[in-house]
Every structure is written in structure tokens, then in C-alpha cells.
Amino acid sequence: MKKIEEKHEDLKKKHDKFEVYERNLNKKFEPVFSQMKQVISEKRVQYTLYLKKQLSKNQDRIQAEKIALERLSISLSGISDKFKNELEHQLEIIKVKDEQSKKIIEE
């Protein structure tokens, strides 16, 4: 029974010493940890703002490209009939020349 009591007292003293050691460490490193938390928080805000800025730039670029594509589509649809007519005319000329070439070869 005596050994158990001694062991208990010894453990209690070690525990008390550990508590003192832990408090001293907390006092010593608390400023460092609080600075680290502050720096991390500031960096997180900076990174979030950077991402927001990049997303805004991307959105602006996408909107500009969308507008440009709409304008291009309108322009192409406006001139497609003219090109279609010209291409059909050129095709007719090619067919005529092909027929002429065949006649010359046959003769």
C-alpha cells in the first residue's frame, strides 16, 4: 500500500511539473502562434481577393468573346447569301469548263 501511495505522489508531482512546463511553453510561444494565425488570416484574404480578381477578369474576357462571336455570327449570316450565290456561279463555270474539256478529249 505504501508503494502505491508513493507512486501516486510521484505521478502527481510529475503531473504538476508537466502543467508548469506546459504553461511556460504556452507563455513563450503564444505570441508566435498568434502572429502565425494573423499572417495566415491575412494571406488567406489576399489569396481570396486575388482569386476574385482573376475570376472577374475571366468573366470579362468571356463576355467580350461572346459579344465578338455574336457579331461575327451576324456578319457571316449577312454575307452568306452573297457567298453562296458566288460559289454556285463558280461551280457552274467549272462544270461548263469540265464539259468542254470532255468534248475536246472525245474529239
Cell of 84: 453562296
- Per-residue pLDDT of 15-35, as tens digits, reads 888 888 888 888 888 888 899
Q: State pTM to two decimals.
A: 0.47
Residue 59 has pLDDT above 80, yes or no: yes
Averaged pLDDT for residues 35-55: 95
